[in-house]
């Protein structure tokens, strides 16, 4: 079961009131949206967006299966107005890791897919088997911030000459063969950063985040709030720099001088929350 992160903090910074309208750009299993719907009753609505919807529309919950990078277009199509708050939870859901069978996890032997949207022609398998050594090394170094990117990619190139790399455990084994023993004994699994890099590249995640942030500001009504939860430093840096830039240019106020992290009590219940960082602004 997916446990939404920073639930209290999301409500605190979005500050929902009865009959207000909100957008959940990453609705997932609807954890945060359910909390918002309670707070904005009886007439407030939530527009929930996701690449692949696993929820059904119900009273006051309007759903759109799309990429949040198309936020302005979605809002216009749904005629969704008077938006008091927008939430972006950029984390990977439990469903993606445990049930999607798309190769997001190196703990299960699945095909190297990693697409949020099945209409996307690019997969992790295509990157690993057909991209150049220089291009794979760049994404593993930049998107994964992997210190052993060169060694890992050389091992990938050598392995794919023998046979195609098609499964998650096959790739994880290759990564393991390329890194030193001490690295494999770290708290974070040695394959984590490479898998992260591939997922980001397949789904164009950083570019999508850069696209949606200015649209969110434009859509919000005066006094409206934007909350973004990121889970890795590249995302957090984009959000941080965007907030600083816009605070200097427009009438927005940054509500979080420093990113808000989950308390130890939350991490104990939900270990996946450990890397979450929340930033918020008010228009």
CATH of the domain at 235: 3.40.50.150
Q: Tell me, yes or no, whether 180 and 59 share the same domain.
A: no
**Final residue of a structural domain among 184, 203, 222:** 203
Q: Tell me, yes or no, whether 180 and 111 share the same domain.
A: yes
> What pTM, to 2 d.p., does this model score?
0.93
133: in domain? yes
Residue 109 has what pLDDT? 95
Report how far residue 14's alpha carbon sits from residue 28's, in angstroms, rounded to the nearest whole number. 18
Residue 95 has what pLDDT? 73
Count of beta carbons in the 10 Å neighbourhood of residue 94:
16
Please answer whether residues 134 and 153 qualify as being in contact, where contact means their C-beta atoms are separated by less than 8 angstroms: no
272: in domain? yes
Total H helices, total E strands in the chain:
12, 7
Report how far residue 71's alpha carbon sits from residue 48's, in angstroms, rounded to the nearest whole number. 11
Residue 132 region by backbone torsions, left for phi larger than 0, else alpha for psi between -120 and 50, else beta: beta
Residue 211 has what pLDDT? 98
Residue 110 region by backbone torsions, left for phi larger than 0, else alpha for psi between -120 and 50, else beta: beta
Q: Tell me, yes or no, whether 109 and 199 share the same domain.
A: yes
Q: Which residue has the tokens 């934007």?
A: 226
CATH number for the domain spanning 129: value is 1.10.150.170
pLDDT tens, residue order, the chain (283 aa): 567 899 999 999 999 999 999 999 999 888 899 999 999 999 999 999 998 888 888 889 999 999 999 999 999 999 999 999 999 999 887 777 788 889 999 989 999 999 999 899 999 999 999 999 999 999 999 999 999 999 999 999 999 999 999 999 999 999 999 999 999 999 899 999 999 999 999 999 999 999 999 999 999 999 999 999 999 999 999 999 999 999 987 779 999 999 999 999 998 888 888 899 999 999 9
**Final residue of a structural domain among 143, 178, 203:** 203
Residue 272 has what pLDDT? 80
2: in domain? no
Count of beta carbons in the 10 Å neighbourhood of residue 212:
23
Q: Tell me, yes or no, whether 108 and 199 share the same domain.
A: yes
Q: Tell me, yes or no, whether 64 and 158 share the same domain.
A: no
Number of structural domains the chain divides into: 2
Q: Tell me, yes or no, whether 219 and 84 share the same domain.
A: yes
154: in domain? yes
263: in domain? yes
CA contacts within 13 A on the Cβ side of 129 = 15
Residue 150 has what pLDDT? 98
Q: What is the DSSP letter of 260?
A: B
Q: Tell me, yes or no, whether 217 and 83 share the same domain.
A: yes
258: in domain? yes
Count of beta carbons in the 10 Å neighbourhood of residue 29:
17
Give yes or no for a cis peptide into 42 (omega within 30° of 0).
Answer: yes
Q: Give the rounded distance of the alpha carbon of 240 from its chain centre.
A: 16
Residue 122 has what pLDDT? 98
Q: Tell me, yes or no, whether 79 and 111 share the same domain.
A: no
Report how far residue 39's alpha carbon sits from residue 281's, in angstroms, rounded to the nearest whole number. 20
Q: Tell me, yes or no, whether 52 and 82 share the same domain.
A: yes
118: in domain? yes
User: Residue 161: in which H helix or E strand, if any?
Assistant: helix 149-162
Q: Which of 139, 134, 180, 176 is nearest to 157 (CA)?
A: 134
**Final residue of a structural domain among 154, 181, 203:** 203
Q: Tell me, yes or no, whether 81 and 210 share the same domain.
A: yes
Q: Which of 54, 154, 131, 57 is nearest to 46 (CA)?
A: 57
Q: Tell me, yes or no, whether 164 and 249 share the same domain.
A: no
225: in domain? yes
Q: Tell me, yes or no, whether 108 and 194 share the same domain.
A: yes
Which residues make Cβ contacts (< 8 Å) with residue 188, sequence separation at least 6?
none
| Parent domain of 175 | 101-203
The C-alpha R_g of the chain, in whole angstroms, comes to: 20
């Amino acid at each position: 079961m997916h446990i939404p992160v920073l639930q209290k903090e999301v409500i605190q910074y979005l500050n929902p009131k009865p009959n207000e309208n909100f957008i959940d750009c990453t609705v997932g299993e609807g954890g945060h949206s359910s909390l918002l719907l309670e707070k904005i009753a009886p007439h407030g609505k939530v527009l929930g967006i996701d690449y692949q919807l696993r929820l059904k529309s119900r009273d006051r919950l309007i759903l759109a299966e799309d990429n949040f990078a198309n936020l302005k277009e979605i809002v216009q199509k749904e005629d969704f107005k008077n938006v008091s708050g927008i939430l972006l939870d950029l984390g990977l859901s439990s469903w993606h890791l445990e049930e999607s069978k798309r190769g997001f996890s190196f703990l299960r032997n699945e095909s190297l897919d990693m697409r949020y949207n099945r209409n996307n022609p690019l997969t992790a398998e295509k990157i690993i088997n057909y991209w150049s050594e220089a291009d794979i090394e760049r994404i593993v170094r930049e998107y994964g911030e992997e210190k052993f990117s060169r060694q890992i990619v050389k091992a990938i190139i050598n392995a794919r000459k023998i046979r195609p790399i098609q499964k998650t455990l096959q790739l994880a084994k290759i990564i393991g063969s390329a890194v030193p023993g001490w690295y494999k004994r770290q708290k974070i699994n040695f394959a984590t950063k490479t898998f992260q890099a591939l997922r980001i590249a397949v789904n164009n995640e950083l570019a999508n985040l850069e696209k949606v942030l200015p649209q969110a500001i434009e859509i919000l009504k005066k006094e409206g709030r934007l909350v973004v939860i990121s889970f890795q430093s590249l995302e957090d840096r984009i959000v941080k720099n965007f907030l600083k830039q816009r605070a200097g240019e427009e009438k927005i106020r940054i509500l979080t001088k420093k990113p808000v992290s989950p308390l130890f009590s939350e991490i104990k219940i939900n270990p996946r929350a450990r890397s979450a960082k929340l930033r918020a602004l008010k228009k």
